[in-house]
Structure 1
Amino acid sequence: MLLRCVRTTLAAARHFSAEAVAKSTTTGGTTGTTTNTGGRDTLGRRLLSLVYAKRSAVIAIQKWKEEGHTVRKYELNRVVRELRKLRRYKHALEVCEWMTIQDDIKLVPGDYAVHLDLIAKVRGVNSAEKFFEDLPDRMKGQPTCTALLHTYVQHKESNKAEALMGKMSECGFLKNPLPYNHMLSLYISNGQLEKVPELIQELKKNASPDVVTYNLWLTVCASENDVETAEKVFLELKKARINPDWVTYSTLTNLYIKNHQLEKASSTLKEMEKRTSRKVRAAYSSLISLHTNMGNKDEVNRIWKKIKSTFPKMNDAEYTCMISSLLKLKAFEEAENLYTEWESVSGTGDSRIPNLLLAAYINKNQMEMAENFYNRIVQRGIAPSYTTWELLTWGYLKQKQTDKGLDCFMKAVSSVNKWDPDERLVREVFRTLEDQGNVEGAEQLLVTLRNVGHVTTGIYNLLLQTYAKAGKMPLIVAERMKKDKVQLDEETHELIRLTSQMCISEASSCLS
């Protein structure tokens, strides 16, 4: 439950942070939506049709001008906004950079705020800092400072963010809740919840909280499982005459479900659905998840039909949500049918979706079905991911099929550029090898771990435990550990002493 709560908190923090940056970068003509041009040729259409990152937005703009067309700032700002929505940050940045060198385009701090945000996304925080430092003083106002603050929040640079907040306070740039919302997101994502109450009090002295502030505050209450405070926060929001949004009610519903207050959860869930629309598509998936947690299978299916009637095509995130919900509700056949539907309509080849069913088969100890399903995945051209191999490793270990499990583990490790060590999985593989006295497999595992730079004292101790179980003596362990720059501890010395009295094994000399 605690892990789920933390995940919910982090997801909410990311959502609010994204919403906040959208607000912080609308100053200076970036508001508005793409107009319907009725199919006619426009500069916006040309820029949005580039698609491939290697193509140049600057060349497209210059060609447009050479053809005798006028380039208008408001149109470019609108295109930048659309490109950012599509996460095509490189082209958006090229447009911003082109505008900065045009004598006939007058830029305002809001334009530079957008520019800074894009630099951070494309080139990193250091480049964003350099860009800010090089700005004329008149452009280092509230919008650009807030954009830099958001960059620090995204990169979890707590010290820099707090220092910048101090400078913004001195300059009188904290007259609205946006910078505070950024800091709240940072503290939530970093687990620094103790800093939240003081920050909110400071916000109230300088500005008025908005719905994002209250949603973040409710997220903190949810992470601390504090229903009483959450209800007080919600009451304060209502007294401030702020309209709660779907996130508000989603957070409250989740909290009520965790505390088995299902009547209140049903009430807030109804209010949440009233605030769900095409404009907030993610809300539908949240509705499905919450109904799933309440065990409302009929409601889950109803919301799914509602999504299908609202949007022409479901995306992978929605299929993931629905398949996960069906599996959680023990509707395995329906989940399998929905997966087949996804196969027929999606061309993404995202392995995360088949991994849901693969995990379900493995959890039900249906290893033969898991193997058949894996073969189906491969035949469909879906590349197995690290998680695919990890799931198969666990499955084979549960079935005591050690050789297959070890092979899948090696494939898992080699499938990523940088492996984030999973100590629990490593220990389970070693434990299985130890139970079987499989010193050859243990040595192969050591080689695999060495190749990815994960050899520790604990790993060697697990290897030695396998030798002890097998009643065999490894060769030159101390020398091998020295070569790997690994220290011996008391357990290592005891295991070496114990195994030195056993018969010699050839495995360590062959695999080192």
Structure 2
Amino acid sequence: MIALGTIFPTVWLLELLVLSQPYCMTGARTSDNEVDDGFSDLDSPPGTNKIGTMVDKDVDDEFISEQEIPGDESEVDSAEVADGSLGLSDSETQSNGEKEPRRKSLTCPLFKVVMEAPRHSVTAVLNKWVQEGNSLGRDEISLTVWNLRKRRFYQKALQFVEWLEASKHLNFVERDYASHLDLVAKVHGLQKAENYINMIPESFRGEIIYRTFLANCVSTSNVKKSEEVFNKIKDHGLPITTFSCNQLLLLYKRVDRKKIADVLTMMEKENIKPCPFTYRLLIDTKGRTNDITGMEQIVERMKADGMEPDLSTQAMIANHYIFGGLNDKAETTLKKMEGDDIKDNRNACKALLPLYAALGKAEDVGRIWKVCEAGPRLDECVAAIEAWGKVGHVEDAEKVFEDMLKTWKKLSSKYYNALLKVYANHKLLSKGKDLAKRMSDDGCRIGPLTWDALVKLFVEAGEVAKADSILQKAAQLNRIRPLYSSYMAILDKYAKRGDIHNAERMFQELKKTGYTTRMTQHRLLLEAYINARTPAYGFRERMKADNIFPNKQVAAQLAAVDAFKKTNISELLD
């Protein structure tokens, strides 16, 4: 194994300490898609020669209702899926971190039986399936769990796995227990998951179990529990893997960038080799701090270590260039993504559409879309709608949507939402209302993503009270919590208006709904006090209670609100 000293020299580690500086960008971006390596036999679909029918990816699972999407899907940084190894990613990852080609979607009779079974009778349906002599091999089981996870039917997946374990229809190995553990964490939370670990036979309580639990702790940004689990891995003498180190990097990237260099130092000391995901995390962290030189150095080190950035990493790099105002470098990156002929590199189209739109290049958006237009894929259509909207071509976005309806006849709310966001961004309230009514008439299930789009539609139109009302009704009438971004959009507007009462209420709503308290919420709440020219008594203590410590921006805000405090003389004069 190559010593990490050749990959992370001390000078570079010291340089990474600049990551502890607060975000210096206005409107810093807050989400990205990150997955890691594969692990569970239960969660990996078997080869197509074994079982299942090949189905067009774009037709199979793209019509999933929003009711199946967890409420925190778009929470700030929650798109950073902590553990793609748990069957959530569209592609498997080999042990060296390189992704294998995306598998086609597979279905099998057992999956359909579980899907169609009412929640209260899953066990009875499965018992009947076995009694009728149907096959229940590992291939069918793996494919069923994989499909349930992909559709985010975690509760049904858990019922299925619990039945398997209780009925002894499958001889569980460590990876199967890990799959069960992950589903418990997703459905019932960390405490129940920790209790389940104690029920796993000791001989199967290995590194995979603890790294699975670690990934779930990280996904909730629970620093204390994440560090505790990582230390347990070390204390139990289990191997410290690149995967586990990546989880810590992902956690600290979100909550405490000062500790990133500590993790890299530990990796160097323990000779733990980075994988493409490790580099992706570091590239993104540098880019988010607008340290473009540092970002480019990491890219070069990644290449020197024999790893070429894939399309998604190249798109991330281009995005950071655009955000940093380096449009020439962004265009160079996009040309590399296109290759010699974009027609021969169709997979790049989805990523290129929004990037050219971000550069304001409507002609290039049209050129790339022309490659897709004759036989578009659903994800390309969504990218095109968003891209046309970004460059102000609302009619072109509408045409893509109408063509989708002609081709696929019935679409899930996901695709309506794409156009709804375009209307919101262009303050087209009347068109947005009409589209929302059309969604209802077309039988779309309305969930968090639609609520989010509607909230932003009314917020951008200046009707914040109506947006607030929609959010409150959605939260009361549904078991799925609204998205983090929905609350933040309203909190932001109340802050700008200096509406302390409603800003405080929205701040508390976020807490009550179960979202982790972050620096951004405190910053916006302070902005409300500043705009109202009112002192925020005890605010430092409130932040400390939430384990949030002021960065430079928030420290400046605290100083600003302190200036509004009444002095002895001002009280006498009043």
TM-score normalised to the size of structure 1? 0.69
2:466 to 388, 408, 413: 408
Deviation at 1:247, TM superposition (A): 2.4
Q: Identify if the C-alpha distance between structure 1 residues 214 and 274 changes in structure 2 by more than 3 Å, giving closer, same or farther.
A: farther
> 1:157 Cα deviation (Å)?
0.9
Corresponding residue of 2:493? 425
Q: 1:424 to 1:295 in 2, by over 3 A?
A: closer
Alignment pair present for 1:166 and 2:231: yes
Q: Is the Cα–Cα contact under 8 Å of residues 107 and 147 in structure 2 kept in the other structure?
A: no
My pick for the range that moved more, 215-224 or 289-298, is 289-298
Cα deviation for residue 417 of structure 1 reads 2.0
Mapping for residues 3-42 of structure 1, pairs under 5 Å: 5-7=28-30, 10-11=31-32, 15-16=33-34, 19-20=35-36, 23=38, 25-26=39-40, 30=44, 32-33=46-47, 35=50, 37=52
* Corresponding position: 1:255 with 2:314: no
2:352 maps to which of 269, 287, 290: 287
Paired residue secondary structure (1:206):
coil
**Which range moves more in the overlay, 192-201 or 301-310?**
301-310
| 1:410 shift after superposition | 6.2
CA RMSD, 1 decimal: 4.4
Q: Give how far 1:29 is off.
A: 8.1
Q: Whose Rg is larger?
A: 1
Q: 1:349 to 1:128 in 2, by over 3 A?
A: same
Does the C-alpha gap of structure 1 residues 52 and 125 become closer, same or farther in structure 2, counting only changes over 3 Å? farther
User: Of 22, 42, 48, which residue of structure 1 is paired with 2:112?
Assistant: 48
Secondary structure at the residue paired with 1:2?
coil
- Seen in structure 2, the aligned counterparts of structure 1 residues 333 and 414 have a Cα distance that, compared at 3 Å, is same
Letter in 2 for 1:26: S
2:292 counterpart of 1:235: no
Matched residues in 2 for 1:53 and 1:156: separation? 34
Structure-to-structure mapping, 1:335-484, within 5 angstroms: 335-341=397-403, 345-349=409-413, 352-362=417-427, 370-371=429-430, 374-375=433-434, 377-378=436-437, 381=440, 385=451, 388=454, 391-392=457-458, 395=461, 405=463, 408=466, 411-412=469-470, 414-417=472-475, 420=487, 422-426=490-494
| Identical residues among aligned pairs (%) | 21
8 A contact 2:233–2:240 mirrored in 1: no
- 1:199-218 correspondence runs (5 A): 199-204=263-268, 205-218=270-283
Partner of 1:505: none
CA contact (8 A) 2:353 2:369 kept: yes
Contact 2:42 2:138 in 1 (8 A): no
Deviation at 1:246, TM superposition (A): 1.6
User: Are the structure 2 counterparts of residues 307 and 33 from structure 1 closer, same or farther at C-alpha, using a change threshold of 3 Å?
Assistant: farther
Q: Which structure has more RCO (C-alpha within 8 Å, separation ≥ 6)?
A: 2
Residue 479 of structure 1 corresponds to none
Could you tell me which runs of 5 or more consecutive residues in structure 2 were left unpaired when the two chains were aligned: 1-23, 55-105, 477-485, 512-524, 535-564
Counterpart of 2:115 in 1: which secondary structure?
Answer: coil
Instruction: Give a deviation string over 1:279-336, Cα, whole Å, max 9, x none.
Output: x99964332221222233233233334445565x515xx5453233223223233234
SS for the counterpart of 1:117 is: helix
**For 1:358-393, what per-residue CA distance to the aligned partner results, in whole angstroms no more than 9, with x for missing partners?**
33443xxxxxx6336524542553778465356436
Q: What is the count of residue pairs matched by the alignment?
A: 427
CA shift, 1:125, in A, is: 1.5
Superposed, which structure 2 residues align to 1:104-123 within 5 Å?
Answer: 105-123=170-188
Shift of 1:415: 3.1
Aligned to 2:395: 333
Q: CA deviation at 1:460?
A: 12
Question: Which whole-Å deviations, capped at 9, do the CAs of 1:337-374 have from their partners, x for residues lacking one?
Answer: 33444566553345633433433443xxxxxx633652
Deviations 1:63-109 (A, max 9, x none): 23212344223431232122212222223222322222344632211
For residue 208 of structure 1, report the CA deviation from its aligned partner: 0.9
- How much does 1:116 deviate? 0.6
Q: Give me the whole-angstrom Cα distance separating, in 2, the residues matched to 1:222 and 1:246.
A: 17
Deviation at 1:140, TM superposition (A): 1.2
Contact 2:43 2:146 in 1 (8 A): no
Query: Aligned-pair distance for 1:269?
Result: 2.4
Aligned partner of residue 220 in structure 1, secondary structure: helix
Q: Is 1:155 the equivalent of 2:250?
A: no
Match of 2:131 in 1: 66
In 2: Cα distance, 1:139 partner to 1:307 partner? 49
Specify the code of the residue in structure 1 equivalent to 2:454: T
Say if 1:343 and 1:309 are closer, same or farther in 2 by CA, change over 3 A: closer
Partner AA of 2:458 in structure 1:
L
Q: Which moved more, 1:288-297 or 1:97-106?
A: 97-106
Superposition deviation, residue 163 in structure 1: 1.4
- CA positional deviation for 1:177: 0.7
Task: Specify whether residues 185 and 409 from structure 1 end up closer, same or farther in structure 2 by C-alpha distance, changes over 3 A only.
Answer: closer
Would the alpha carbon gap of residues 147 and 310 (structure 1) be closer, same or farther in structure 2, given more than 3 Å must change?
Answer: farther
Contact persistence 1:174–1:207 (CA under 8 A) = no
Cα distance between partner residues in 1 of 2:531 and 2:357: 41
Aligned partner of 1:180 in structure 2 is: 245
1:267, CA displacement in angstroms? 3.4
Provide the rounded CA distance (Å) in 1 between the counterparts of 2:530 and 2:305: 61
Output the amino acid matched with 1:333: E
Letter in 2 for 1:334: D
Tell me if the contact between 1:291 and 1:299 (Cα under 8 Å) persists in the aligned partners.
yes
Q: Contact 1:358–1:391 at 8 Å: present in 2 too?
A: yes
